[in-house]
Structure formats: C-alpha cells, structure tokens
Amino acid sequence: MPNELPEPFTNVRFRVEIDAMQSTGAVEVVFPEARIIRGSRKASVARYGNLILKRGLTRSGEWYEWWDAARQSHRQLKKGRLKRNVRVILIDARGADGNQWTFTDAQPLGYHVSSLNALGSEPLIETLELTIGSFKAVYS
C-alpha cells in the first residue's frame, strides 16, 4: 500500500568510513549532541558534542596512530592537517545503503582500550573520541 510507513532502521546494521583508513569495523557509534546557541546580536551558532566510535581491538593500529599523531603534533592540529571526514551509513534490511551522516573536520580528542580481565571472555573494545567541525545528515 502506498500509505504504509516504511520499516524503521535497526541500530545494528551500519558501517563507518574514515578518510585515509582501510576499514573501521565499528561496533558502536555515539552520535554527538548538536545545539543551536544564541549569540550576541541574536546571531545563532551550532555547537557540537563529540563523536565516539567503538570497535573490537584488532592488529590494526590506525585509530591509535591517528590519535598519537594528534597528541604529538599541536602544530598539525592547529593547521588542520589531522582533520578527516567520518561517514556513518545505515544499512537497510536488503543490504542497501540508507541514511548517512557525514562529520567533517573530525580530529582525535581521546583514545581508550577496555580493561583486561583474566576471568572474562569479552572482546577488548577500542574507543576513539573525536571533535567535529560540523555534520550533515542525508535521509534516503
């Protein structure tokens, strides 16, 4: 029927793409909060929280290397040399790309690996926290 609402997306089928990286294999994305702040003379500006990406720790050191480069080079950060675009793409039930968010000028702010526990069997989780310049959402 033409008046039926489409099925909502689930939160388990997505992929994350980061410029200049092979693959991310992200298992969780925490979207940033976006707020409109009223400035002086009634001008409005958008302010964004941080984008948080999580994945199972593998032999790939791409996330750590990006964060480490940011940590070691304040000059590169100021010149924007470490900025990258991050895309989060939802995947529908048929496997096709759905809605997409593009976060521009993302830069590493924090890096964390979950705790080791000799009594457990859970995967190690690598977390990358990013500042963003802005974002755009495209709804399919």
Phi, psi of 69 (to 5 degrees): -60, -40
* Nearest to 113, CA basis, from 36, 61, 49: 61
- Supply the pTM of this predicted model: 0.88
Residue pLDDT, tens place only, 93-115: 899 999 999 999 999 999 999 99
Say what the pLDDT of residue 2 is: 55
Residue pLDDT, tens place only, 63-78: 999 999 999 886 655 6
Say what the pLDDT of residue 38 is: 86
* Nearest to 100, CA basis, from 54, 31, 33, 43: 31
Average pLDDT, the chain: 90
Q: Which CATH superfamily is domain 14-138 in?
A: Hcp1-like (2.30.110.20)
Mean pLDDT of all residues in 124-135: 97
Domain extents in the chain:
14-138
82 pLDDT exceeds 50?
Answer: yes
Q: List % helix, strand, coil for the chain (3-state, nearest 5).
A: 15, 45, 40
